[in-house]
C-alpha cells in the first residue's frame, strides 16, 4: 500500500467533533434570518467549536442577546464601547481582541447593508469594526447573505459581492426559495445544517483541488412491471459520504445516484437514475473527463429481459410467473478498461461481501483490472451509519477500523489523493 494506516487515520478529526478546537466569531446583522442563527450557534457548539456571538443593533431587533448567550454559552458583544475583558484582556478594545484567537468570522445573516458597509471598509459598529480589524491572513471572513430576492439581484449588491470576493471574502449561499416576505427567489439564508456543512468543509484540507471525481451510489431498481422491480438493500450512505468528503477535499464532484432519499452533499452535482442502464448512460460519457471514479453503487447484476406494460396479476392458476433476466453492463469494468487506455480516471471499486472479504476483494480487483478495491461486509453495513473498510491494492491490504461512514470516507479520500500525488510525474 502507498500509505501507512496511521497517516490515513490522522486525516480525519474525532467523530462527532468536526469543529473541535475551532473558535468561531458568529456575527449577526439585521434580518429575519436571525432566527436561524440561534440554531446555527447551537450546531456549531455541538460540533465542538467555541462560539463568540457579536450582534449589530439591527440584529437585536430580531433576536435577543439573551437567547444567543444561552446557546453559545458566552457573553454576547453588541457595542464597540463595551469595556468587558476579552480572553483576559482588559484594554477596552473588544473590536481587536475578539478576532485574535478566532479561526474565522462568520456573519450569518449578512444583510445587504452590512455587505455594502464591509466593502467600503466602514466600521461604525462593533461587528463591522472587528471584520476590518481582524488579522486577514489567519482569520477568514465568511458571509451568509440573507435578503429579499430583488435586493440580492440588485446591481449594487451583485457589484458588492464580486468586489468582496476579490477582497478574499467567502460566500456561503444564498439559497433560493420561499422568502419571509412571501416572494420566491434567490437570497434566502442557507439553513443552519447547510451552513455547518459548509463551514466544516471550509476548514478541511484540499488535496483534491482542481480534480474531478465521479461517484456512483445507492442501489439500482430494475422494473418488472409498473409497480414491481428488483433492487437491493444498499442505502447509498457510503457513496454520499464519499461525495461529501471529495467535495470537502476541493474536488469537483458528480454523484450518480440510484433511488435513495438522501440529501445531496453541499457543492456536489447530483444525477438521479433508476436502472443500471441509466447509470451506465450517465457514467460512461463523463468518465474520460474525470480524474477519479469511485463505484460504490450496488448495481443490479441482472434486469428483467422484458418490462410488462401492465401490472402482472395473479390469474388464479397458482402458477408463479417466470422472469427471464439479462445481464446488466458492468459500469466499473467498462470505465476501468477506458482508464487502461487513457490513463484516467483512477478507478476505485467496492466489494460488498458476506464472507471471505480479503479473498473476494482481491479476486474482484483483478477481475475488474482496477488499482484499488474497498471491501466491506455488506449485510453488516447496509443502511447503517458506520462501517469498517478494507483497502486492497496490488501490494497488499489495509484495514480501516470501524467508524462512521463520513470519517471512513475522509480517510479513503485522503488515501486516494495521496495515490494521485504519487502517480503525478514531477515537472
Question: Which residues of this protein are in contact with ligand CTP, per CB under 6 A?
Answer: 216, 276, 295, 297, 299, 301, 328-332, 349-352, 364
Q: Which is nearer to ligand CTP, 52 or 387 (CB)?
A: 387
Helical residues (DSSP H) of 91-250, grouped into ranges: 94-100, 112-119, 126-133, 149-153, 155-166, 192-203, 237-248
Q: Which is nearer to ligand CTP, 113 or 301 (CB)?
A: 301
Dist. CA 329–CA 45, nearest whole Å = 47
Phi (first) and psi of residue 264, to 5 degrees: -70, 130
Dist. CA 405–CA 191, nearest whole Å = 23
Dist. CA 107–CA 31, nearest whole Å = 12
Around Cβ 125, how many Cβ atoms within 10 Å?
A: 20
Residues ≥6 apart with Cβ < 8 Å to 283:
214, 216, 256, 293, 331, 335
CB of 365 to ligand CTP, least distance (A): 9
Q: Which is nearer to ligand CTP, 173 or 239 (CB)?
A: 239
Q: Which is nearer to ligand CTP, 377 or 388 (CB)?
A: 377
Q: Which is nearer to ligand CTP, 8 or 331 (CB)?
A: 331
CB of 217 to ligand CTP, least distance (A): 9
Q: Which is nearer to ligand CTP, 48 or 329 (CB)?
A: 329
Dist. CA 424–CA 401, nearest whole Å = 29
CB of 325 to ligand CTP, least distance (A): 13
CB of 230 to ligand CTP, least distance (A): 13
Q: Which is nearer to ligand CTP, 346 or 350 (CB)?
A: 350
Give me the residues paired with residue 107 across strands: 27, 143
**Burial label, 210 (beta-carbon count in 10 A; 0-12, 13-18, 19+):** exposed
Nearest to 295 by CA among 285, 273, 280: 280
Catalytic residue among 34, 131, 181, 347: 181
Q: Name the E strands within 264-330.
A: 269-272, 292-295, 302-304, 325-327
Is residue 181 part of the annotated active site? The answer reads: yes
Residues ≥6 apart with Cβ < 8 Å to 39:
192
CB of 378 to ligand CTP, least distance (A): 8
Collapsing DSSP to helix, strand or coil, 202 comes out as: helix
Q: Does residue 124 contact residue 169 with C-beta atoms inside 8 Å?
A: no
* Sole residue written with cell 463595551: 82
Dist. CA 99–CA 121, nearest whole Å = 16
CB of 295 to ligand CTP, least distance (A): 3
CB of 160 to ligand CTP, least distance (A): 46
Cis previous bond, 174, omega within 30: yes
Q: Which is nearer to ligand CTP, 304 or 329 (CB)?
A: 329
CB of 219 to ligand CTP, least distance (A): 10
From residue 251, alpha-carbon distances to 2, 194, 248, 414 in Å are: 21, 18, 7, 12
**CA angle at residue 77 from 72 to 81, to 5 degrees?**
170
Catalytic annotation, residues = 181
Amino acid at each position: 500500500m502507498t500509505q501507512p494506516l496511521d497517516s490515513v487515520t490522522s486525516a480525519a478529526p474525532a467523530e462527532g467533533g468536526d469543529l473541535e478546537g475551532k473558535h468561531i466569531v458568529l456575527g449577526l446583522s439585521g434580518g429575519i434570518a436571525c432566527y436561524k442563527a440561534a440554531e446555527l450557534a447551537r450546531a456549531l457548539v455541538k460540533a465542538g467549536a467555541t462560539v463568540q456571538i457579536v450582534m449589530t443593533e439591527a440584529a437585536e431587533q430580531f433576536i435577543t442577546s439573551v437567547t444567543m448567550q444561552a446557546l453559545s454559552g458566552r457573553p454576547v458583544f453588541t457595542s464597540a464601547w463595551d469595556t468587558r475583558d476579552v480572553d483576559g484582556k482588559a484594554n477596552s478594545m473588544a473590536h481587536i481582541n475578539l478576532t485574535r484567537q478566532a479561526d474565522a468570522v462568520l456573519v450569518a445573516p449578512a444583510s445587504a447593508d452590512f455587505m455594502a458597509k464591509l466593502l467600503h471598509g466602514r466600521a461604525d459598529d462593533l461587528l463591522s469594526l472587528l471584520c476590518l480589524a481582524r488579522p486577514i491572513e489567519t482569520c477568514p471572513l465568511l458571509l451568509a447573505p440573507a435578503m429579499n430576492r430583488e435586493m440580492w439581484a440588485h446591481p449594487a449588491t451583485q457589484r458588492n459581492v464580486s468586489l468582496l470576493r476579490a477582497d478574499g471574502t467567502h460566500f456561503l449561499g444564498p439559497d433560493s426559495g420561499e422568502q419571509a416576505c412571501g416572494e420566491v427567489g434567490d437570497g434566502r439564508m442557507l439553513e443552519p445544517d447547510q451552513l455547518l456543512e459548509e463551514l466544516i468543509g471550509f476548514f478541511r484540507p484540499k488535496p483534491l483541488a482542481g480534480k474531478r471525481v465521479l461517484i456512483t451510489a445507492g442501489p439500482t431498481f430494475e422494473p418488472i412491471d409498473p409497480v414491481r422491480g428488483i433492487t437491493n438493500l444498499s442505502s447509498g450512505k457510503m457513496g454520499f459520504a464519499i461525495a461529501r468528503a471529495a467535495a470537502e477535499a476541493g474536488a469537483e464532484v458528480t454523484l450518480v445516484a440510484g433511488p435513495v432519499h438522501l440529501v445531496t452533499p453541499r457543492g456536489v452535482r447530483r444525477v438521479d437514475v433508476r436502472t443500471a442502464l441509466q447509470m451506465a448512460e450517465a457514467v460512461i460519457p463523463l468518465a474520460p473527463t474525470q480524474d477519479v471514479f469511485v463505484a460504490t453503487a450496488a448495481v443490479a447484476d441482472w434486469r428483467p429481459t422484458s418490462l410488462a406494460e401492465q401490472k402482472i396479476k395473479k390469474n388464479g392458476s397458482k402458477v408463479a410467473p417466470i422472469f427471464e433476466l439479462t445481464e446488466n453492463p458492468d459500469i466499473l469494468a467498462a470505465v476501468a478498461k477506458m482508464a487502461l487506455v487513457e490513463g484516467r480516471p483512477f478507478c476505485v471499486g467496492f466489494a460488498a461481501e458476506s464472507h471471505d472479504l480479503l479473498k473476494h476483494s482481491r479476486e474482484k480487483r483483478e477481475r475488474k483490472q482496477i488499482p484499488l478495491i474497498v471491501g466491506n461486509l455488506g449485510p453488516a453495513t447496509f443502511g447503517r451509519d458506520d462501517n469498517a473498510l478494507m483497502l486492497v491494492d496490488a501490494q497488499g491490504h489495509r484495514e480501516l477500523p470501524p467508524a462512521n461512514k463520513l470519517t471512513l470516507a475522509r480517510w479513503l479520500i485522503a488515501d486516494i489523493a495521496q495515490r494521485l500525488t504519487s502517480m503525478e510525474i514531477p515537472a
